[in-house]
Structure 1
Amino acid sequence: MKLHQLRTLAAIADAGGIRGAARTLDASPAAITKSLRQLEELVQMPLVTRTSSGVTLTEYGQTLLVHARLVIGQMTRAREAVDAMRGAAHGKLSIAITPWLAMTFLPETIRRFSLRMPDIRLELFEGLLKIANPRLRDGSLDFFIGRPMPGDLGVEFNYRPLFSSSCAVVVRQGHPLANCRSLGDLCGLDWLLTLDPSDDGRHAENMFERNHCSVPRRIHLAHSFAIAIALLQQSDMASVIPWPLAELCAAREGLCAVPVREQLEDAAVGLISRSGHPLSAVSECFIQCLVESVHDAQHSASPDTRNVLKSVDVLI
């Protein structure tokens, strides 16, 4: 397989058609079609299906696409690593970061990073598992700073712990159960999670079962913090969020922490990257800037920052 053929497949997947891929790669539709045909002949499988609305990848195409993105990403990172060694770092750094870190240490981290790596563009994603994990797997994300996924991280991903905190149950201000003391009192509510466990709600079920409470009938998943906040503000749903996030935004968003007596699971946050793929010099520079920002924040005059750090164990 040739690199330009793999780029063709990725461009078709992203653009949804031959013409869109041609514009992306600055090539003619005929050249894109030829490259795709050569790749299909090489693997001896149909990679796309043409429809009236465009082009979709077949099952074979989807499988090959994962590997194509990895190869493309590694080639890009190889060039960027060499450029960085020459003192000419450029390109893009793609990061997913958990919301409470984005609201606290990210701005200062980016300020420091931009001074050291002025020619690097940043691409930032919301740090939720359903968003970050697929991008980590296909190589389109350099690393993820957030909660580890259930199961064994060591096989597929590397994990470096950064922070640990407890979690809080939150509801809207004025909620009829806002002052209840037991998790069991909240079992009749609809629950909304942004923790997005891969077992589709089993994490929340375990939380209730571990505390000998009935499992709520409906546990919804939101893969956006903004969506979750909007729903919590305007409904009687309950949710679980890390305490740093509760300290930062509960009051300002019209939410409050419910003073339940049960001990909820800790919310660990760490640096997650793909196994077998060492972090680039650019990635290491960003992480170093984050570490410096966190350490300096421990002497911050900002009350918001001090409150967040009171609810967090810094492990770096």
Structure 2
Amino acid sequence: MKLSHIRDILAVAEAGSLRGASRKLGITQPTITRSIRDTENELGQSLFMRQPHGVVLTEAGHMFVRRAVAIQSEVRHIFEELEQAKGRFVGQVSIAVSAAASISIVPTVLQKFYKRFPQALLRVSESLLQPIESDILSGEIDFFVGPLYENRAAAGLTVEKLFDNRRIIVARRGHPLASATTLEQLQGAAWVRPSFSDRRDEADFEAIFERAGLPLPNIVMHSRSATVTVLAIANTDMLTILPIQWLDEFALGGQYIDMIPLEQPLHAAPVCIVRRGDLPLTPLAEGLCDMVRGAGLNYGMRLSAGR
């Protein structure tokens, strides 16, 4: 089996058709067909099921692709690391960040990264950890920056805490409950329950009231959009709970929305760097990781100081 066979099969799996893979790779369909046939003959199993409008992976095909993605990522890392060891910082770095990390860390890092590595390609996706754990393990994503709930990470991943995050109660400017200092004083309000990424957001929202010994609030709106949530808060008397970084993101503090400062802070999952534990990052990715580490630690210090 050749690396070109792996390349061709992954392209077909992603495109869902030979024609799409041919366009993506710039090679002929017969060449791709031979790659698939040769690989299937070597393995003794079919990787694709042909359909009228394309192809889909068989069960064996899914198993092949899962391993092949890791192989292709490591081959790319080999070439990039060798080039970077010569002082030529070319290639790419792929990271996933949570919304809170994208606000508090990424803007600080971008200018430094491109000043130091002007020829590099940076790929950034927004996610929580759980959906992309397998991508970190396969090498598709170099590392993740964001909250780590209950210190849970898949086997093979290492965790480095950057800072303890916190949440805030958010209301429109001039809200009648703006002077409240406890959750109990907010019990009569209507609430928006945000769930921007997964069900864990909802569970965390409810747990805040349970830990305070209070009944669940009057939830009148569920929102999977940060923008819609903030607009709803800015234009009604509804309240919500968000990571403190959202005030910076929307630059609305003091104009449209503001926080209700409670006596007891609402803690959130710590923001961490999560990466593979069995292989080092490329020099380029390690350089970015160092920048993220510095920016995260500095932000955590400002947050602890009451910023």
Bucket of the pairwise TM-score, normalised by the shorter protein:
0.7 to 0.9
Question: Are the structure 2 counterparts of residues 140 and 236 from structure 1 closer, same or farther at C-alpha, using a change threshold of 3 Å?
Answer: farther
2:66 aligns with 66
The offset of 1:285, in angstroms, is: 0.9
1:204 aligns with 205
Question: Are the structure 2 counterparts of residues 30 and 214 from structure 1 closer, same or farther at C-alpha, using a change threshold of 3 Å?
Answer: farther
Pairs aligned (count): 301
2:214 aligns with 213
Q: Which amino acid aligns with 2:183?
A: S
Q: Which moved more, 1:187-196 or 1:18-27?
A: 187-196
Distance in 2 (alpha carbons) for counterparts of 1:293 and 1:220: 33
Question: Are the structure 2 counterparts of residues 174 and 64 from structure 1 closer, same or farther at C-alpha, using a change threshold of 3 Å?
Answer: farther
Q: Give per-residue Cα distances to partners, 1:163-206, cap 9 Å, x unaligned.
A: 22221133455667666542672786441123635x57433343
Question: Is the contact made by 1:105 and 1:293 (CA closer than 8 Å) also made in structure 2?
Answer: yes
Distance in 2 (alpha carbons) for counterparts of 1:129 and 1:159: 11
Distance in 1 (alpha carbons) for counterparts of 2:221 and 2:45: 41
Distance in 2 (alpha carbons) for counterparts of 1:238 and 1:59: 47
Q: Which amino acid aligns with 2:281?
A: L
Distance in 1 (alpha carbons) for counterparts of 2:64 and 2:216: 41
Q: Which moved more, 1:254-263 or 1:12-21?
A: 254-263
Please report the RMSD computed on the Cα atoms of aligned residues, expressed in angstroms.
Answer: 3.4
Larger Rg: 2
1:302 aligns with none
Question: Are the structure 2 counterparts of residues 192 and 35 from structure 1 closer, same or farther at C-alpha, using a change threshold of 3 Å?
Answer: same
Distance in 2 (alpha carbons) for counterparts of 1:59 and 1:202: 34
Q: Give per-residue Cα distances to partners, 1:101-127, cap 9 Å, x unaligned.
A: 433543442222223222211111124
Map 1:106-121 → 2, pairs under 5 A:
106-121=106-121
Question: Is the contact made by 1:201 and 1:221 (CA closer than 8 Å) also made in structure 2?
Answer: no
1:191 aligns with 193
The offset of 1:236, in angstroms, is: 6.8
The offset of 1:43, in angstroms, is: 3.5
Question: Is the contact made by 2:191 and 2:221 (CA closer than 8 Å) also made in structure 1?
Answer: no
Matched, 1:284 2:276: no
Question: Are the structure 2 counterparts of residues 144 and 294 from structure 1 closer, same or farther at C-alpha, using a change threshold of 3 Å?
Answer: closer
- Identical residues among aligned pairs (%): 25
Distance in 2 (alpha carbons) for counterparts of 1:294 and 1:152: 20
Question: Is the contact made by 1:146 and 1:270 (CA closer than 8 Å) also made in structure 2?
Answer: yes
Question: Are the structure 2 counterparts of residues 200 and 246 from structure 1 closer, same or farther at C-alpha, using a change threshold of 3 Å?
Answer: closer
Question: Is the contact made by 1:16 and 1:56 (CA closer than 8 Å) also made in structure 2?
Answer: yes
Question: Are the structure 2 counterparts of residues 212 and 144 from structure 1 closer, same or farther at C-alpha, using a change threshold of 3 Å?
Answer: same
1:301 aligns with none
Matched, 1:147 2:147: yes
1:90 aligns with 90
1:256 aligns with 258
Q: Give per-residue Cα distances to partners, 1:40-68, cap 9 Å, x unaligned.
A: 33333332233334322233322322221
The offset of 1:272, in angstroms, is: 0.9
2:269 paired residue among 261, 267, 270 = 267
Distance in 2 (alpha carbons) for counterparts of 1:269 and 1:61: 36
Matched, 1:123 2:123: yes
Question: Are the structure 2 counterparts of residues 6 and 178 from structure 1 closer, same or farther at C-alpha, using a change threshold of 3 Å?
Answer: farther
Q: Which amino acid aligns with 1:45?
A: Q
Question: Is the contact made by 1:5 and 1:36 (CA closer than 8 Å) also made in structure 2?
Answer: yes
The offset of 1:20, in angstroms, is: 1.0
Mind listing any 5+ residue stretches in structure 2 that lack a counterpart? none
Map 1:43-62 → 2, pairs under 5 A:
43-62=43-62
Matched, 1:311 2:303: yes
Query: Normalising by structure 2, what TM-score?
Result: 0.80
Q: Which amino acid aligns with 1:185?
A: Q
Distance in 2 (alpha carbons) for counterparts of 1:238 and 1:289: 35
Question: Is the contact made by 2:192 and 2:223 (CA closer than 8 Å) also made in structure 1?
Answer: no
Distance in 2 (alpha carbons) for counterparts of 1:27 and 1:42: 22
The offset of 1:69, in angstroms, is: 1.0
Q: Which amino acid aligns with 2:271?
A: V
